[in-house]
Amino acid sequence: MKELNWQHLAYFIKVVECESLTKAAAQLYLSPSTLSKAIAKLERNLRIPLIVKAGREIQITYAGRKLAQRLSQGMTYINDSIREVQEELAQSTDSLSLCSSNLFSTTYFVIPELLKVSKDQYPNTAINYTEVLSQEVVMGIMDGSYDLACLTGEEFDLATPGLKTFRLLKERLGILVPIDHPLAHFDAITFQQIQGETFFRTYDSEHLRKLAMEKYGRSTGDIHYTDISIRHKVMNDASIISLVQSGFGISLTTKSASRTYPQVKYLEVRDMELYRETYLIYKAKAQLSSAAKDFIQLFSQRQGSFFEPITH
């Protein structure tokens, strides 16, 4: 007997079920002639008469009905076996879905650390990670597309109803300048030294405006928060760093995001503390998997400690 075509066996089961080549072909999205040829080929391979044609009608032979019955039993056994293995696998390897925005410091530093620590602690947990636009993250959490997400505090409203959060990381922000910029001669600067500079607008730059207003907004001196020229709206750290390298302006960023780029220099601002905070977020009333609950518990107990290598 030649090697069987399992698809043709499934076709035959459908023909017996419908008692008609035409009806079976329609349900299988095949033409009647294609289905007829497949059944004829199956008969030749099996050397068993399966159907008898009488004009447009067909009759299933005794051997054909008996074979179809056995095949149906076999298909049921195969489907049950697949389902049992899938259920067993689900019990031994729990899973969760995690997403984040495409902010460079999050995707390049935070997410890899999260995945590494989680894998070390729970090696059998499967984590499905997706990178999306920041405005899609909270939406995806609330509609159940994702179990958990990572976002910086400037990318969402912490007071969003129905959302639970805890801080994973708090990183100091500094000023990034080209290596040949006059300020690059310093390791730390003051707010006054960046007056008149052109900034790239980022989520963090609004921080700068608020803090400058609090510190200098009512000052009678020559330092004013309105002297900060913020333009060139850019939201991704990697793009910001590339543009700073090219001399188009300066920007706020984290030290970790800039350390692999030799053509830029990170400067601390001595008289103004600026931070970027990264949060783990999830839906308050979601029916979370055990893997998601373990993930939350793991990192809520270890906030910041596993990120030490990237925050120095």
Domains of the chain (ranges; CATH) run 6-91 (1.10.10.10), 95-169+277-311 (3.40.190.10), 171-275 (3.40.190.10)
Residue-level pLDDT at 41: 92
Reply yes or no on whether the pLDDT at 154 is more than 60: yes
Which stretch of 61-65, 183-187, 236-240 has the lowest confidence by average pLDDT? 236-240
Portion of the chain with pLDDT greater than 90, in percent: 30
**How much is the pLDDT for 259?**
74
Q: Which of 23-27, 101-105, 179-183, 273-277 has the lowest mean pLDDT?
A: 101-105
Q: How confident is the model at residue 277 (pLDDT cuts 50, 70, 90)?
A: confident
The vertex-142 CA angle with 139 and 144, nearest 5°, equals 105
- pLDDT grade, residue 6 (50/70/90)? confident
Q: Poorest-confidence range of 6-10, 110-114, 253-257, 268-272?
A: 253-257
HSE-CB of 58 using CA atoms within 13 angstroms: 25
Q: Which of 177, 158, 129 is nearest to 281 (CA)?
A: 158
Q: Which residue has the higher pLDDT, 271 or 20?
A: 20
Instruction: Provide the 3-class DSSP secondary structure of residue 266.
Output: strand
> Using CA atoms in the order 276, 282, 285, 289, what is the torsion angle rounded to 10 degrees?
-150
Whether 207 has a pLDDT exceeding 90, the answer reads no
Strand 275-283 vs strand 163-178: parallel, antiparallel, or unpaired? antiparallel
User: Looking at residue 19, what DSSP letter applies?
Assistant: T
Q: How confident is the model at residue 60 (pLDDT cuts 50, 70, 90)?
A: very high
Q: State if pTM tops 0.85.
A: no
Bin 148: left if φ > 0, else alpha if -120 < ψ < 50, else beta.
Answer: beta
What does the pLDDT read at residue 224?
42
